[in-house]
Amino acid sequence: MALSKHQSLDVITLTANGEPTLYPELDALVDAILKIHDRPKLLILSNGATIVDPSIQTTLSKIDIVKLSLDCVSPKCFKKLDRAHKGIEISQIIEGMKHFRTRYKGELVIEILVVEGLNDTEEEFRALNSVLHEINPDRIDVSTIDRPPAYDVKGVSIERLVELSNLLEDLHVNIAYKKNYISQKRYFSEEEIFELLKRRPQSFEDIALCFDEQSLQNLNHLVDKNALHVKNIAGVNFYKVT
């Protein structure tokens, strides 16, 4: 009934007031949704804590887009930031994500939430860069706190998000930010744009955030010359070097 009324949906999202993979009937729910004729893509949002479980991997393997959280690599940061239940170790989660990637044929997205004073260091992001290359997700979403959190913690600036995201090399990174944010835009020559995109593809939103008007013209000129092309990754468009 709902899908017949809302026929322009991009995805059906499975989430919860908590962790959706803990729902005991998740597998049956996924199977029922997959039977819907002409349905949108199915997406699940998970904190990744249960990804080591083979039965959870089997269920998630049926879903079109799986989005998992990975805020830290170091155990100390993981315990402080994610406050995981006793017995849940970040090393197990990482190994679970690696194994899941080997069997999962859909679109895997990793989400990183950056919190001031916890995981906003170059050291942590270089460690994330190494692990993310081993996991090999299709896309990485980097964001920060933009609404009152449950604990006394703070987000980082958009400029810091950009700096940290640039440490995730040769990966499809999308910076999530408030749409009404006005940043200091910069000029990039065609050569600078090409070298920037060789290190890391840039999403349309990243480009809009950082590039001034002349830089956008330079970017379009590179596209016209077929030096760059656009690739859609789990619903987000990226500029890449051809």
| pLDDT per residue as tens digits for the range 79-107 | 888 777 778 899 999 999 999 999 999 99
- Percent of the chain exceeding pLDDT 70 equals 93
> CATH 1.10.10.10 spans which residues of the chain?
182-242
Reported as a pLDDT band with limits 50, 70 and 90, residue 18 is confident
Say what the pLDDT of residue 85 is. Answer: 75
Say what the pLDDT of residue 219 is. Answer: 96
Sheet of 11-14: strand order equals 11-14, 41-46, 65-69, 107-114, 139-144, 173-175, 202-203, 236-241, 228-233
pLDDT, mean of residues 15-30: 94
CATH class label, 182-242: mainly alpha
Task: Phi first, then psi: give them for residue 50, nearest 5 degrees.
Answer: -105, 5
Give the C-alpha separation, 189 to 202, whole Å: 15
> CATH 3.20.20.70 spans which residues of the chain?
2-181
Question: How do residues 128-161 score in pLDDT, each as one tens digit?
Answer: 999 999 999 999 999 998 765 556 678 888 889 9
CATH class label, 2-181: alpha beta
Give the C-alpha separation, 110 to 142, whole Å: 9
